[in-house]
Structure formats: C-alpha cells, structure tokens
Amino acid sequence: MSNPSSAIESILVENRIFEPDDRAREGARISGMDAYQALCDEADKDFEGFWAKRAREHLIWTKPFTKTLDESNAPFYQWFSDGELNASANCLDKHMGTPVESKTAIIFEADGGEVTKITYKELLARVSQFANALKAKGIGKGDRVLIYMPMTIEGVVAMQACARIGATHSVVFGGFSSKAVQERIQDAGAVAVVTANFQLRGGKELPLKSIVDEGIAMGGCESVKTVFVYERTPSAWNRVAGRDVSFTEALTGQSTECAPVPVNAEHPLFVLYTSGSTGKPKGVQHATGGYLLWAKQTMEWTFDIRPEDVFWCTADIGWITGHTYVAYGPLAAGATQVVFEGVPTYPNAGRFWQMIERHKVTIFYTAPTAIRSLIKAAESDEAVHPKQSDLSSLRILGTVREPINPEAWMWYYRNVGGERCPIVDTFWQTETGGHVITPVPGATPLVPGSCTLPLPGIKAAIVDETGKELPNGSGGMLVIQRPWPSMIRTIWGDPDRFKKSYFPEELGGRTYLAGDGAVRDARTGYFRITGRIDDVLNVSGHRLGTMEIESALVAKTDLVAEAAVVGRPDDVTGEAICAFVVLKRGRPDGDEAKAIAKELRDWVG
C-alpha cells in the first residue's frame, strides 16, 4: 500500500476511529503516521539493509554477520547466518554495568498474592547458576530440554539458562496432559525435563511432576536422563532414583557465573509445539538471531517500551506470547515486568485490575477471552469492576490470540484504559515469532476489531487460492510475501510438512500462508482477521486441531465408533468445540447420554 495515512484521514470524520492522543504520541518512537510510513518506505527501498541496521543496533554479536538474508534454499530462509551471538547474554549480561543492572527485572506475584522482586543482576546470577546445574548433568549446546513449569521466576530462569548454554528448549504448557508431555519428549528427543512438584492456580495445588512421570512411563522417552524438580510447594513428590534431582540439590555448589555460549544466528533457540490441521502437533522451530531481534524490536514498536514502564503480559510461558513477551522481549528491552502465577478470577475476578493498581502497571497485554469473561463478572458484581481499582498508571493496552469483538474492545478502552490508552490489537502466530500486523500506539488511528496495518518490513497481503492478490474489501487468505527475521525456520524433524503447510506450491512456494482468513477495509486498507481457514479451532485463544480432538475421541475405544468435530461461535470463548459422536453401543437417552457426554469431555480434556 502506498500511503495509508491520507486514506485514513479522509474517513476520520465519518467512522469511529480512535486517534492516538498527545500522551501516546509524545515521545513515542514512532510518532504519527508519517513516521510509520517512513519506516515502511525505508524497508521497501532497501529490504536487507533495513534489517541489517536493526540487527546491529539491537543485538550484541560475538561474531558480526556479513550476510543478512540467505534465500538460496527458500523457503528455508536464513537470517544473519554467518553471525554468532547468545540470546541470554542479549537479555541479561548486556545490562550489566548500566543503570538496568540494579533495576527490577521481574515483579512476581504468586497465586496466593505474595510478591517477590528480582533485579537484572540477581536474575543473571540465578540463570547462570541453573545453567551450570544443566551443564553438570552433561547438558550442552544442541541438546533439547523440555520445560513443564508453572508461571514463576524459575520458569523464566529455566528458559534463559537453556539459551545460555545453547540448549534448545521446548516449553509445554502446564495444563497439558501426560500424553502431550510424552509426545513432545519423543518428537524433540529431549535429554532432560525441567518441572515442578506442583503448581498453584486458583488456590489449588495441581500436580506437574507426576504428570511428567506418567508421560515418561508411556514409553519411548528413553532420551530423558535427568528430571529437575523445582519444589514450588512443601508437598512431597515421588523421586525416581538416578534420574530426578531437586532444584536445591542441583544448584548446591554451582557458581553464579557461567559464560554464555555463542551460537550461530540460525541455531534453534526453541521448538514450540502448536496445533495444525492434522492430528500431530507441529514443532515450530525458531532461530536465535532473527527471533531475538524481533522480540526486542516489537517491544519498541508495538509497546513503545520506555525505561520507567511496568510491563505485564498475562500469557503463560507455555505459549508463544509467554516466550516473546515474557521470557525474551521484556528482558532484551531492559524492562520491568510482572509475572503472575495465578488465574484472573482468583480470589476474585478483580484480580487483574487490583494487580495493575498494586504494581502500577503501565502496559497491559492480555487476551480477548479474558476480557470478555471479566466483563461478565464485572457486570454481575460491582466489587470486581475495574472502576474499583486505580488504573491511572496505564498507558497502553494490548490484545492477542483472537479477534476482539468491537463491544469488548470498547469496554476495555473505556473501563480499563479510561479512554486514554491506545489498544494494540496484535495479530501474530507461534510461527511468526512476534507481532506482524498491529497498530503502533503513537501513530495508528484505531478501529475496534481491526489489527490495522503490518509492521514495517512485513509485506502482508490477501490472496485467492491461486495466489492472486485481492482488492481491498474482498475476503481471502492472509499471506506474507517476503521473509522476516523471526519467521518459523522449519517444523522440527519434518521439513516437508513445513513446506506444505506454510509455503504451498499453489502459491509459488515462497509466500508464507498464515492459515487465517482476512479482509482489508475498502478505504483504509486495514486488516481484519476473520478466523482460521484450516481445521484449527481457536477456543479462548488456544489453537486446537479438530483432528486432534477427533483422534482423542476415537481413542476411547470402549465407547466411541466415530467422531467429527466442528467449531461453533461462543460469546466468551470466541469459538466452542462441538463434537458429533457415534457410540459403539447405539444411542443412549437422558441421564445416560449426559453422563457419557461428561465422560467424553473429561477424556478429551
């Protein structure tokens, strides 16, 4: 698009468009649409130069790169591929000797409300010490480590420690089952697991370690030699002799210094599994250099992060959002961030608002599902309404993971943002590594329900099945037509599936297919995501393949003959799962039908 700003200005008066106010604009890195457009033009004019400049500006390289983008083996694009760096050094060591050294890196609020703070210097010592504990168990560069941890400082420490020694982490969300743990250990060939005895959520103590044990016992996990157990609670856990070690034991005697291991920019920083349209989850592989560049760059562009900010992304480290905007981005940017262990409804549904007040959060980033459920709660109970909390510290709001309906957007804008905070509706995916289409808070006029425009350097478009670009106003498939630094590199162990899923021949083999439908506004060119075009459901922002659920249902061999799964619209979760099941023993009625439905629901869960 040549110049979106003039088209947008022309309809300002007619449509409900929310322009950034002076507070958002003042001192913003990208202030006003002309500044945004200038960056887009810069990227258009000299694409590689644009990224090279930023990679040098944002990252510390132990060996500088000379080649920016290698397209010789497309779509296996490589970025900065002759350079070397360490991700952890770029998040921690680089702040030493600067004022950030003694700044709070993480404000941790536990499920029960206890608050712990840790400075950058202390975090570096913790990460180094755990890195040494990993090394003492023979874990090193290129090894895969599965992380199955609660939202805690230790979870972030485990990820950073892997990065520090060049081990590739694969975080599994703490709500996933033993089967998921087993499949991911097997697929990644993990040599170690980092877990906790229990996690605390909503006042309940939920097991983690025993689920790891169950997963490993399912077989095929012989690669795992060590299980590190963080004792989150005093409760006892079952120890497998010769394999399991508590954090305390592992850390005893380990130095708090550990030299970061330089790795090639293309070295896999992590593999994160996500649902695809077939039964088997895909191990999305990200590279160190390009990913970290984007994590840092988007902290600046999308959140306009400033030294005095208190940043809070509510995502769990088990999802990509918790990777980029908890474990890496805020640290690379030297920000203070809140890490929250619990759930938004405990001890009451005002918890988020109370925490914003308590920690003077300035940037708050959450999912539409959470907002919608908190709207419901606030409407039925004044005591948990955001107006009960002082939210005046807020400067920028964000959403991610699913389309936000304009009503929820307006509620968030008014009741949480006090009609003064821009909302950045960030569209992205596990595969994109970071934001790709999103408003820029000091520049982009906002339209509720639209993720607006691509970030500079991201060439997003809407095409038909043949790859032909469609005019604004027509719905089609969302694609990205040029590579970008934080893009998925491959599917772990399955390059063919990578090519077929994301760079299909029908689109020429070099265009990234996002898997979402989208439409651009006829006049502004703004993007609106209409939902997945493949067999993936988005339930509360969680990606679930219909085939995954169908496979789970038919795996209940004593009951189920056949199953088919579709999505249906839901007011709170966006989409709900609807399963049609043919039972082996014919159709039950009444209470029996209800009991079977419950049994199957629990089984799938």
Residues that bind ligand PRX (CB under 6 A): 274, 320-321, 400-403, 425-430, 451, 514-516, 529, 532, 538, 543
Asked if residues 274 and 171 have their Cβ atoms less than 8 Å apart, the reply is no
Nearer to ligand PRX, 315 or 374 (CB): 315
Q: How far is the CB of 405 from ligand PRX (least distance, A)?
A: 11
Q: Please, which residue, 229 or 529, has the CB nearer to ligand PRX?
A: 529
Comparing every residue's Cβ against ligand PRX, the nearest one is 430
- Smallest distance, Å, CB 34 to ligand PRX? 25
Tokens of 199: 């996690």
CA distances from 525 to 15, 349, 377, 454, 488 (A): 14, 37, 36, 10, 26
Q: How far is the CA of 377 from the CAs of 381, 382, 385, 542, in angstroms?
A: 6, 9, 8, 21
CB of 465 to ligand PRX, least distance (A): 18
| Distance from C-alpha of 295 to C-alpha of 324, rounded to nearest angstrom | 6
Helix (H) or strand (E) holding 300, with range, is: helix 288-301
Specify the length of the chain in residues.
605
**Closer residue to ligand PRX (CB): 197 or 450:** 450
To ligand PRX, the closest distance from the beta carbon of 399 in angstroms equals: 6
Collapsed DSSP state (helix, strand, coil) of residue 166: coil
Burial of residue 77 (CB within 10 Å: 0-12, 13-18, 19+) is buried
Please say which residue, 75 or 403, places its beta carbon nearer to ligand PRX: 403
- Of 167 and 272, the one with the shorter C-beta distance to ligand PRX is 272
Closest distance of CB 402 from ligand PRX, Å: 5
Nearer to ligand PRX, 331 or 400 (CB): 400
Nearer to ligand PRX, 143 or 425 (CB): 425
β-pairing, 226-230 vs 192-196, is parallel
- H/E element, 539: strand 536-539
Q: Give the HSE-up count for residue 545: Cα atoms under 13 Å, Cβ half-sphere.
A: 16
Which residue shows structure tokens 């109370």? 354
| Min dist. Cβ of residue 188 to ligand PRX (A) | 18
Distance of CA 105 to the CA centre of its chain: 19
Query: Of the candidates 80, 83, 82, 75, which has an alpha carbon nearest to the alpha carbon of residue 482?
Result: 75
Helix (H, G, I), strand (E, B) or coil at 149: coil
For residue 599, the minimal CB distance to ligand PRX (Å) is 28
Closer Cβ to ligand PRX, 569 or 586, answer by number = 569
Least CB distance from residue 320 to ligand PRX, whole Å? 5
